[in-house]
A and B are shown apart, each in its own frame.
Chain A
């Protein structure tokens, strides 16, 4: 049932069409070889970043990928500093809270606008959608002024509040709730569930693919967010990972092996998690991206 909501093309994209035998046809061989070379070029920046983080300074600028004398000293140095761990925790808390809030409210609003017939719902929907036209950069100055006024500068809440709900999520979830049959909701009403219970325990489980896609996008967006956390925080203890990495790298100036270690620490943990989830993300992009 939960598969109802997945777009056919998204499903087609995910259907494993991997062949285990290398191609025989010369055109296919050339195509595959060029694609593979392109893929290697694409990941080269990671490879060199990682390799540099395990090198001593004197070996740093050689072109070899495998360090001749691999060392963990850079990691020891960067982690002993302690700030990276703090920034990591900050980013994790902030991205998690924003994701939970946005997924909860976006789907609640999307459901309400989709399944309730009441006066003004069209107006609310258009009003929410219209905010998509306003670039974040335009709101940053008023948000900063608000934060200044209410004392939200240098707080978690200050970093989080602009993202607590997203218009994109409302639009997306409204689309997906269309696939939930009204009969299910009617049946649940007859069973005596209240409207909140119907949403939470009947409708929500039917749109889990969309929920997970939305959650991943919002998390990724907040994990990598830069300009707003940069503006709203001035104290190192409250920096998120991207902002922390910027200050750290500026401090190190020419010690590129330390900068690369910082970059690796900022990139790898999530990269690994997201690579595991890669199939969901790709499917999510395929089923949501085209609707935009």
Chain B
């Protein structure tokens, strides 16, 4: 205490600052940095959870490169992104654009669109899974047959299963995107619109020449943010394909699920770690490319 009281005011504050940071810095070192390094290290090792970790060099990466299942999973993961991001952004922009111009019961409509965002993905995956069942169980097929259409095989078809699993993920994320879009729309100064109106510009031109360009920061944020979400999809796939994980025929298996299975069903920890490194690189590269493309234009 004596030592402390002899310090200058400046020094005392530094002592306080490091005092405040002591536990958090320890946390970040032990729970974030060390595991990150360990994941990279493990990707160059073999380990089955029980014995010793042994050095494997690039074996896990070579094995991954030569694994046809991995390339299928890689394609699936990008399918979730390529379908999910544009579809969800277009839908949410259209809704936000019109909701922004609507006054009557605005709060209620917004709340209804926002509702799915507040749910647990697991619970909703089961609800949608029920909807997708064949006649006489599933809601969608019951509606289709009542209207005179033929049944659609949603979850047990290699072509339809992935979009079917993606649908609840898009649905659950719309509310968030709508709110972000609406906040972005409100941030555009009204004077631009007033000037355009005086010039007698059409609504379409206003949208193209004013709204979308000024909304660009919002769009960039949402593209990057939702892409990361779709590349990491797991909860929905896990719960909608419990009878045949990632199926049928691996057609819905995303990278995160492959990691989960490699680590906790096959116990190939090193191989799974190599897959997590690939996931990290995919996320990093996709985000950087998107930022680059969208910022430059």
A binding-site residues for B, Cβ under 8 Å? 8-10, 12-13, 16-23, 28, 31-32, 34-36, 38-40, 42-43, 45-46, 48-49, 52, 61, 63, 105, 108-109, 111-112, 116-119, 121, 124, 127-128, 131, 133-135, 137-146, 148, 161-162, 164-165, 167, 194-196, 199, 220, 223-224, 226-227, 230-231, 241-243, 245-246, 249-250, 254, 256, 259-260, 262-264, 266-267, 270-271, 274-275, 278, 281-282, 285-287, 289-290, 292
Contact = CB atoms under 8 A, between A and B. Distances in A.
A20 to B, nearest CB: 8
Given A139-B35, A245-B126, 4 more contacts: A9-B186, A20-B104, A134-B36, A144-B263
Nearest to B99: A35
A246 B242 contact: yes
Contacts of B186: 9, 12-13
B102 A141 contact: no
Given A48-B139, A112-B17, A138-B36, A35 B102 contact: yes
Interface of B: 13-14, 16-18, 20-21, 23-25, 27-28, 31-36, 38-39, 42, 49, 95, 98-99, 101-107, 109-116, 118-124, 126-128, 130-131, 133, 136-137, 139, 142-143, 146, 168, 171, 174, 176, 179-180, 182-184, 186-187, 217-218, 221, 225, 232, 234-235, 238-239, 242, 256, 259-260, 263-264, 269, 272-273, 276-277, 279-280, 283-284
Contact of A131 (B33, B183, B187): B33
Contact of B131 (A42, A45, A128): A45
B20 A112 contact: yes
25 contacts: A9-B186, A28-B104, A63-B139, A111-B20, A112-B21, A116-B16, A118-B14, A133-B284, A134-B32, A134-B36, A135-B283, A140-B259, A142-B35, A148-B49, A165-B31, A195-B16, A220-B118, A242-B120, A256-B137, A267-B123, A278-B114, A286-B179, A287-B183, A290-B187, A290-B217
A254 B238 CA distance: 17
Given A105-B23, A227-B256, A249-B126, A139 B187 contact: no
Contacts of B279: 135, 137-138
A134 B120 contact: no
Contacts of B113: 38-39, 42
A266 B263 CA distance: 28
Nearest to A254: B137
Contacts of A230: 238
B109 A63 contact: no
A61 B142 contact: yes
Nearest to B123: A263
Nearest to A30: B98
A263 B225 CA distance: 27
A289 B179 contact: yes
A285 B179 CA distance: 7
